[in-house]
Chains A and B, each alone.
Chain A
């Protein structure tokens, strides 16, 4: 069984629980994802399925890409991602994975690429406090402060948090509750925020850390 699906972040909104509590949710367009290739232990050294997602103009594909899809007779997709699988029993090329994979109440992990912030200072990037605005500290408003001691060790430790590129990195948010899953509309609604901008490509998998109780509850 495939345990994940590719999706596109649509945006956020809020919905109400029965007791009137409003909860923030993210709407995801998930699937349908055709299985384009199956990787086997014998041939590839590991077991996985390659899923496709999203349409794109035919003439935008180069010929190796066209060949890859033509071989299995599947309309070419914009995105290809692999998902490791434990057993290859129930998967075959041409099958489609859709949002029906998930059920309401289930916990999922969502992976995406966070928004890029460019070259950022330490206040925004790491939440440093910066300096004070008054009492003569005006010139140190957003500075990092000390980056270490002097003669010992005579160097800056590796990993010291400093200004630099912030965001545009792969991030995973774990254990988000599925509020709604509808295969017909390719719709997946999860509780909470997920990384990246609207239209960002997401990988949605069954939660790694969920106990059995969590995922059979619904």
Chain B
């Protein structure tokens, strides 16, 4: 193990489920409002996983009230309280950018049964 990896490994989390593009996940993030801290959930389809080591991120896309929104989370951030997989998706690409151009029934991802 080289030195960079050994530094990064101290900051990396392992307490999240395996998930990838196409899966619908629920991300619980810690939000600080003044002194109070609360947990906010964000649920949607994972459209990409990017980078490695402590810099790993993933992007979740959801369509709320007809408006598409995407949020990119740093996977190993302490502000991410937990991640859970709601549904596994069957997709043939690593990056699902094509979902941005689709709406309604066309924007669905087939379910992967396990």
Contacts and interface: CB of A to CB of B under 8 A. Distances in A.
Contacts of A18: 78
A13 interface: yes
Contacts of B10: 15
B78 A13 contact: no
B11 A16 contact: yes
Interface residues of A, number: 17
B71 to A, nearest CB: 15
Contacts of B3: 10, 27, 29, 185, 187
Contact of B77 (A10, A22, A189): A22
Interface residues of B, number: 18
Contacts of A189: 7
Given A13-B53, A13-B54, A187 B7 contact: yes
Interface in B40-87: 53-55, 74, 76-79
B54 A187 contact: no
Interface string B1-27: 011101110110000000000000000
A20 B54 CA distance: 12
A180 B76 contact: no
Interface in A1-39: 10-11, 13-16, 18-20, 22, 25, 27, 29
Main secondary structure of the interface of A (DSSP, over half): strand
Nearest to A189: B7
A14 B55 contact: yes
B78 A19 contact: yes
A10 B79 CA distance: 28
A15 B11 contact: yes
B6 A13 contact: no
Contact of B30 (A20, A25, A29): A20
Contacts of B8: 13, 15
A55 to B, nearest CB: 16
Contact of B4 (A22, A27, A180): A27
Contacts of A187: 3, 6-7
B28 to A, nearest CB: 13
B4 A11 contact: yes
Nearest to B76: A16
A23 to B, nearest CB: 10
Interface string A180-204: 1000010101000000000000000
A189 B74 CA distance: 21
A143 to B, nearest CB: 39
B55 A13 contact: yes
A186 to B, nearest CB: 8
Contacts of B76: 16
A29 B53 CA distance: 19
B83 to A, nearest CB: 15
12 contacts: A10-B3, A13-B7, A14-B54, A15-B8, A15-B10, A15-B54, A16-B76, A20-B78, A27-B4, A180-B7, A187-B3, A189-B7
Given A15-B54, A187-B7, 11 more contacts: A13-B53, A14-B54, A15-B8, A16-B74, A18-B78, A19-B32, A20-B30, A27-B7, A185-B6, A187-B3, A189-B7
